[in-house]
Amino acid sequence: AQTVTQSQPEMSVQEAETVTLSCTYDTSESNYYLFWYKQPPSRQMILVIRQEAYKQQNATENRFSVNFQKAAKSFSLKISDSQLGDTAMYFCAFMYYGGATNKLIFGTGTLLAVQP
Amino acid sequence: DTAVSQTPKYLVTQMGNDKSIKCEQNLGHDTMYWYKQDSKKFLKIMFSYNNKELIINETVPNRFSPKSPDKAHLNLHINSLELGDSAVYFCASSQARSGVPTDTQYFGPGTRLTVL
């Protein structure tokens, strides 16, 4: 069974600084995607970034980038130039594809507070 | 235009009642999901439908019954509500096909269910 672990329940960062959120996962599969979702106080689940496991290049989306270490089964999210609007719960998620199902398996989340 | 919508956004009801939550997506996706987020913010898959066919049914009490009248709609009916059913329920959709790299899951705004 796949598992996703986020070891940092809460983090804090000053506005304009950089912060890295950690995520590790466990799987024996080779076909999968990894995601970071953001959940602000509005509770909407918003996709931040996604990484295909078969790609060696780390995904980037504007101020958000990942450090994908496949052998180590690590998938961290780096947020550069943090903004107040980045304050949210961040969830790391794993999805295996290739079978009949495509369910997301979530970590327990990291609550990020961006301080002015 | 809202991509994935849910109604209602808030639902407060008494123990023992029966209630439904509706979900609609206008993204043209063929797969829809229900996730439950508990009081500790942990998200877990409940059900998934692909083209109106049930493909994921996690260990959910049979008081929960999903129904998909067409591939754009997935409703969740809950019988005999219990205190432990209080949670936020998220609908999501994606274009998912078995064995083929799949698109990202997009989430609705969530329905906060409170059982008194």
For A94, how many CA atoms within 13 A lie in the half-sphere containing its CB? 27
CB atoms B100 and A109 under 8 Å = no
Q: What pLDDT, in 10s, does the model give residues A36-79?
A: 999 999 999 999 999 999 888 999 999 999 999 999 999 999 99
**Residues contacting B105, CB < 8 A, separation 6+:** A95, A102, A104, B33, B92, B93, B94
Residues in chain B within 8 Å Cβ distance of A50: 104
CB-neighbour burial class of residue A56 (10 A; exposed 0-12, middle 13-18, buried 19+): exposed
The tokens describing B57, both together, are 């049914």
Per CB distance under 8 Å, which residues of B are interface residues toward A?
A: 31, 33, 35, 40-45, 48, 55-56, 58, 88, 90, 92, 94, 96, 98-102, 104-107, 109-110, 112
Higher pLDDT, B18 or B104: B18
Query: Distance (Å, rounded) from C-alpha A19 to C-alpha B75?
Result: 39
Which of A74-88, A91-105, B39-53, B99-113 reaches the highest mean pLDDT? Answer: A74-88
Number of neighbours of residue B84 by Cβ within 10 angstroms: 10
**CA angle (A51, A32, A59) in 5-degree steps:** 5
CA distance B30 to chain A (A): 12
Q: What is the pLDDT of residue A99?
A: 65
Q: What is the pLDDT of residue B98?
A: 54
Query: Distance (Å, rounded) from C-alpha B19 to C-alpha B14?
Result: 10
Categorize the per-residue pLDDT at B111 as very low, low, confident or very high, splitting at 50, 70 and 90.
Answer: very high
Find, among A94, A71, A87, A105, the residue nearest to A13 by Cα: A87
